[in-house]
Amino acid sequence: MLCAVFCTVLWGSAYPVIKYAYTVAEMPNVADKLMFAGVRFFLAGLMVLGIAWVKERRFPTVPKERIGGVALYGVLQTGLMYILNYIGVANTTATKTSIITAASAFFAVLLAPLFFKGERITALKVIGVIVGMAGIVLVNNTALDGFSFMGEGLVFLSMLLNTAGSFVGKKVSKGIVFESTGYQLMIGGLLILAVAVPMGGKFPVSWTSVLLVLYLAFVSAAAFTLWTALLVYHEAGQILVFNMLIPVTGALWSFLILGERQILEPLYLVSVALTAAGIILVNYQRKS
């Protein structure tokens, strides 16, 4: 649980840093933002593979029978997921995005038993997800009006892809966590760049943008590697439910980095408590 929370803290820090990067590096359109994201994930993949090379003292490779699975992992988890997410986020509000992102926990808990033997839906898991979602909706209740496919629709689809990618990663990563994570990030990054370049995307070259993209690459490299390992050794539903914490940690980091003070409001404190309670319920196991 501590490792999963640590991943959400890392991912939460990415939100205000990306927002800051968009401002200081002047990235007004989606194409530039996709270019920035593509470079970020490609560098993250290189970081992970570099660590694997040093750790194993050999060039990191993937068994032939798993190459297709790792490629699919990268296309779903990083490539298509982030392309749709970036376009969707540009056409909706941050609060709606938070609700839909947290809702991905529903997909994980409800769909995992269909794909993994030994995982099952229990009343506590369903109640836990509902309680956790209540915490997110509570602080975003004014953003529930309206719906557009290019906004909320694409964010919703990106979360479905995120869940599907996590399931694929769990299946193909056993014994090759570093290799599968590194290559999936590189493949996803290249796919994002393949979309950004024809759209006219440009990477703003400056010391600030380079330092920011390196930090974000480190966040992705560390969080995705640890997250993949957690998925391999634990039930998918029990790990993916921690996605509900990302909007909470993102709000906390926004307060620390950008000075946004919403996290100090009473509703946010209630939201944190409900989200934590939901995660505990999903992960609670009675002793036999």
Domain membership of residue 122 (yes or no) is yes
pLDDT tens-digit profile, the chain (288 residues):
888 889 888 888 887 788 788 778 777 788 888 999 999 999 999 999 998 898 888 888 888 999 999 999 999 989 999 888 888 877 776 666 666 776 677 777 777 777 777 777 778 777 877 887 777 676 655 545 566 788 778 888 888 888 888 888 888 888 888 999 999 999 999 999 999 999 988 888 888 888 999 999 999 999 989 999 898 888 877 787 787 777 778 777 877 777 766 666 677 777 777 777 777 777 766 554
136: nearest Cα among 23, 251, 55, 257: 251
Domain membership of residue 197 (yes or no) is yes
In sequence order, the 6+-apart residues with CB closer than 8 A to the CB of 180 are 62, 66, 70, 73, 169, 172, 173, 228
pTM score over 0.75: yes
Q: Is the dihedral of CA 226, 232, 235, 241 positive or negative?
A: positive
Alpha carbon distance 186, 44 (integer Å) = 7
Domain membership of residue 28 (yes or no) is yes
Amino acid at the residue 40: R
Question: Which domain, by its residues, includes 58?
Answer: 2-283
H/E segment holding residue 170? helix 154-172
* DSSP state, residue 200: T
Domain membership of residue 114 (yes or no) is yes
Phi, psi (rounded to 5 degrees) for 119: -95, 140
Domain membership of residue 288 (yes or no) is no
Domains held by the chain: number: 1
